[in-house]
Amino acid sequence: MYAKVSFFCFLLLGLGSSDEEDAFTFNGFRGAKLSMDGVAEITDGGLLRLTNTTKLVASHAFRPSPVRFRASPTSGVFSFSSTFVFGIVAEDRELSGHGVAFVVSPSMDFRGAIGAHYMGLFNATSNGDRSNHVLAVELDTIFNPEFEDIDFNHAGIDINSLRSFNSTPAGYFAGDGVFRNLSLISGDPIQVWVEYDGLSLQLKVTLSPMGFPKPRVPLLSSTVNLSDVLREEMYVGFSSSSDPFLTSHYLLGWSFGVNGTAPALDLSRLPPLPRGGTEKSEKALRIWLPIATTLLVLSAAGAAVLVVRRRARFAELQEWEMERGPSRISYKDLFEATGGFSEKQLLGAGGFGTVYRGFLPGSKKEVAVKKVSHGSRQGMREFVAEIVSVGRIRHRNLVQLQGYCRRKGELLLAYSFMPNGSLDKLLFGPEGGRLKWAQRFRIIKGVASALLYLHEEWEQVIIHRDVKSGNVLLDGDMEAKLGDFGLARLYDHGTDPQMTRVVGTLGYLAPELIKTRRASKATDIFAFGVFLLEVVCGRKPLELHQPEEMIVLVDFVAENWRRGRILKVADPRMGDCAMEEVDLVLRLGLLCSDPLPGVRPNMRRVVQFLEGGGPLPDHESTFLNPIVQTLLENEAYDNHSRSFSSLTEILVSGGR
Ligand SMILES: *[C@@H]1O[C@H](CO)[C@@H](O)[C@H](O)[C@H]1NC(C)=O
Ligand SMILES: *[C@@H]1O[C@H](CO)[C@@H](O)[C@H](O)[C@H]1NC(C)=O
Ligand SMILES: *[C@@H]1O[C@H](CO)[C@@H](O)[C@H](O)[C@H]1NC(C)=O
Ligand SMILES: *[C@@H]1O[C@H](CO)[C@@H](O)[C@H](O)[C@H]1NC(C)=O
Ligand SMILES: *[C@@H]1O[C@H](CO)[C@@H](O)[C@H](O)[C@H]1NC(C)=O
Ligand SMILES: *[C@@H]1O[C@H](CO)[C@@H](O)[C@H](O)[C@H]1NC(C)=O
Ligand SMILES: CC(=O)N[C@H]1CO[C@H](CO)[C@@H](O)[C@@H]1O
């Protein structure tokens, strides 16, 4: 009926072709013709699955023919309305990301967009750009301070930007008018209504558990003139990103209509959602859940993986800017060195960008070129100044910056190439057994000395912010080189100083860093402690697939230490080793990764301990201390600096 009416309108206006309709209904998606990318697919059961739990991706699904939203470029936007039912099923019920968004876009091509917290819609450059002409309603399951997210379970109206125009915690006003929370990641289907009134310019978003009558009071209601946003013809569909947690995002049904109410869905015909989600890691979650919520941060930094890389065109080359100074390299050289940033030369992604291997044409020097994108040009200027300054640092255990190049929103950094790759690949791979204790101990001492240099010995204090085995590279002699230092600062420039971002990697973030978002020497030392444990144990800091007591490495080591069998946790593949050294490093790892920053030694002490300069202090890891556990859970140390240090004093002095 609806379709007929709109078809009739087309005839009257002489617009569109006969197969165009501006209303449609999918009660399940079996046989639906949609334009999909990423891993989006229609399951045998008729669900539209945007992402699945096997791959970190961003996916899209659009109605292939565009919808007419206004009669002419100057006339107002028609009223429109859409309703859909979605469900989020995560591998691990508490760790889910990143969410799903209903999208109205001038194009279905999202190849330039990033997954993770950009939800497959924008990238650092395009986010916030009025020329996007994108309207989205996000159902966001990760708390991202960068975009001023309010929590890790919210609905938001996004206009050209992931910094929501308006957002609110997910929920609904039940029949009695009382607000009820809704958990987006519960695994239960949720129905959403998006309605725009072209006259009053009201955009309303309403949620409810599937099967409940539509609440009369919307969850979100904003006055917004979409005339500046929507073009005459737009595509409607969905975008979703499963980064940084493997999550399946499903749509069960969807309808859409212009000038009126979207056709009602026949809920009885919607396909069922699969059940999923184990609650296995209860204990880990108690500790790590708060981290997960701040994780958007690392999706921004650590996992800033460009889902699809655009090939740079040679025609754009005159854009590169000349920089003074010995370490400038031309974009052309870097482009040639890396075969035009070709996939074949790709060494890896993550840790602020993508890394390519290459030979500099002139010197024939082998380099690793890191491509970092950055939205703010102003921030970039300051950052380049800093890179030049940091580029002067020389230390045998720090990766040497060879040169850099700035180009539009991009920074390219050329480092000495490290033939033996990154430590984590070796440590956690099948070859890990080749890393004997003596080598590991040397690597540990090398990284300690690099960190001591950054913290205490260079002309200014440099907080690394992302110490981990993945940032330790090995040269041809298996000498450790700490990489990526100073890079985290990139994210401070050009952003609101009130909102200093947490940069780091899940599993290495000190508890107070999560609360205060303030990186310090002590938070670096926490990460270094975790690093010590992973090198000795040959295990990642967080292994969600392990039995409960083994998920969090620090917990696992602390527990074994309490039971007097700390050496049992050492990687058996190391062969014969000096047991007193292994014992020292494990206990030092626990001391450094203590949840209370005041307990952690500074790097100078750490290096002394490693060199055999005196016994470790008697230390009962507060990780297992029930008082600390309670305090951690009760946010008792919210007002960190002061109450925190006095708390530390109580535990350290009074606790003995
Ligand atoms: C919606 O209504 C406007 C007039 O109010 C009309 O010009 C337009 O063609 C209608 N669109 C559809 C798809 O019915
Ligand atoms: C997820 O999607 C990919 C790509 O479409 C596919 O190869 C894989 O089998 C899917 N996994 C599951 C569990 O369906
Ligand atoms: C960002 O997105 C825009 C629009 O999709 C695209 O043109 C641009 O190339 C992207 N930038 C990067 C660095 O991928
Ligand atoms: C809803 O969630 C908020 C924040 O998570 C919480 O403060 C509030 O008590 C919850 N309300 C209900 C009714 O559960
Ligand atoms: C909406 O914006 C357009 C373009 O900026 C303007 O022409 C129009 O008058 C606005 N509509 C209303 C109702 O304010
Ligand atoms: C610390 O506590 C004071 C009052 O007790 C409060 O005003 C302030 O916002 C708190 N600071 C933080 C960072 O929580
Ligand atoms: C363990 C390992 O991969 N060692 C290699 C490090 O690099 C040198 C030089 O490229 C190789 O000879 C080693 O086999």
CA 285–ligand 6 middle distance (angstroms): 26
Minimal-distance CA residue to ligand 3 atom 6: 112
Among 217, 219, 87, 244, residue whose Cα is nearest residue 164 = 219
Q: Looking at 10-93, which runs of residues are DSSP E strands?
A: 23-27, 35-37, 41-42, 48-51, 58-62, 67-68, 80-90
pLDDT-based confidence at residue 65 (cuts at 50, 70, 90): very high
More confident residue, 234 or 300: 234
Closest ligand by atom to 76 CA: 5
Structure tokens at 33: 């013709």
Q: What residues are in contact with ligand 7 under a 6 Å CB criterion?
A: 419-420, 434, 476, 478
Q: Which range is least confidently modeled, 39-48, 151-160, 251-260, 644-653?
A: 644-653
- Residue 108 predicted with pLDDT over 90: yes
- Residue found under tokens 């009223």: 79
- Provide the residue type at 112 as one letter: G
Query: DSSP string covering 274-323, please?
Result: PP--B-TTHHHHHHHHHHHHTTHHHHHTTT---SSPPPPPGGGGGGPPP-
Q: Which atom of ligand 6 is nearest to the CA of 638?
A: 14
Q: Is residue 620 classed exposed, middle or buried when 0-12, 13-18 and 19+ CB atoms within 10 A define those classes?
A: middle
Closest ligand by atom to 40 CA: 2
Domain boundaries, the chain: 4-275, 280-322, 327-416, 430-654
| Span 76-97, average pLDDT | 83
- pLDDT digits over 4-35, tens only? 333 333 333 323 332 345 799 999 999 999 99
Q: Which atom of ligand 3 is nearest to the CA of 306?
A: 14
Check: CB of residue 515 under 8 Å from CB of residue 548. Answer: no
Q: Which range is least confidently modeled, 190-199, 204-213, 325-334, 453-462?
A: 325-334
Catalytic site residues? 466
Measure CA 99 to chain center: 12
Q: Is the CB of 6 under 6 A from ligand 1?
A: yes
CA 225–ligand 5 middle distance (angstroms): 6
CA 171–ligand 4 middle distance (angstroms): 9
- pLDDT digits over 169-216, tens only? 999 998 888 999 999 988 899 999 999 999 999 999 999 999 888 999
User: Cα–Cα–Cα angle for 517, 349, 385, nearest 5°?
Assistant: 60
- pLDDT digits over 149-164, tens only? 787 789 999 999 999 9
CATH architecture of 327-416: 2-Layer Sandwich (3.30)
Say how far apart CA 363 and CA 79 lie, in whole Å: 62
Q: Is the CB of 178 under 6 A from ligand 4?
A: no
DSSP three-state, residue 145: helix
Element (H, E) at 214: none
Minimal-distance CA residue to ligand 2 atom 4: 39
Pocket test for ligand 4, best of 154, 173, 181 (most atoms within 8 A of CB): 181
Minimal-distance CA residue to ligand 3 atom 5: 112
Q: Is 521 annotated as a binding residue?
A: no
Q: Which range is least confidently modeled, 128-137, 215-224, 227-236, 327-336?
A: 327-336
Residues 6+ apart with CB under 8 A from 302: 350, 351, 352, 466, 503, 504, 505
Q: Which atom of ligand 2 is nearest to the CA of 41?
A: 5
More confident residue, 38 or 484: 38
Say how far apart CA 604 and CA 591 lie, in whole Å: 14
Structure tokens at 335: 């482009």
pLDDT-based confidence at residue 380 (cuts at 50, 70, 90): low
Say how far apart CA 232 and CA 235 lie, in whole Å: 10
Say how far apart CA 291 and CA 287 lie, in whole Å: 8
CA 136–ligand 5 middle distance (angstroms): 20
Check: CB of residue 353 under 8 Å from CB of residue 483. Answer: no
Q: Which range is least confidently modeled, 32-36, 122-126, 577-581, 592-596?
A: 122-126
Minimal-distance CA residue to ligand 7 atom 7: 476
Q: Is the CB of 75 under 6 A from ligand 5?
A: no
Per-residue HEC secondary structure of 538-590 comes to CCCCECCCCCHHHCEHHHHHHHHHHCCCHHHHCCHHHCCCCHHHHHHHHHHHH
Say how far apart CA 386 and CA 228 lie, in whole Å: 39
Residues 6+ apart with CB under 8 A from 229: 133, 134, 135, 159, 160
Among 263, 197, 254, 265, residue whose Cα is nearest residue 4 = 263
Closest ligand by atom to 199 CA: 5
CA 194–ligand 1 middle distance (angstroms): 18
- pLDDT digits over 395-448, tens only? 899 988 888 787 766 778 888 899 998 899 899 988 877 899 999 999 999 999
Closest ligand by atom to 224 CA: 5
DSSP three-state, residue 222: strand
- The CB density around residue 241, as the number of other CB atoms within 10 Å, is 32
Parallel, antiparallel, or unpaired: how do β-strands 401-407 and 480-482 relate? Answer: unpaired
Q: Is the CB of 354 under 6 A from ligand 3?
A: no
Say how far apart CA 114 and CA 282 lie, in whole Å: 31
CA 635–ligand 3 middle distance (angstroms): 40
**In the chain, what percentage of residues exceed pLDDT 70?**
73
Minimal-distance CA residue to ligand 4 atom 9: 181
Check: CB of residue 578 under 8 Å from CB of residue 612. Answer: no
CATH (residue range 430-654): 1.10.510.10
CA 39–ligand 2 middle distance (angstroms): 7
- Residue found under tokens 């070796």: 426
Residue 268 has φ and ψ, to the nearest 5°, of: -70, -20
Check: CB of residue 501 under 8 Å from CB of residue 301. Answer: yes
Say how far apart CA 96 and CA 364 lie, in whole Å: 45
User: According to the CATH classification, is domain 4-275 in 2.60.120.200?
Assistant: yes
Minimal-distance CA residue to ligand 6 atom 3: 639
pLDDT at 582: 94
Q: Is the CB of 181 under 6 A from ligand 4?
A: yes
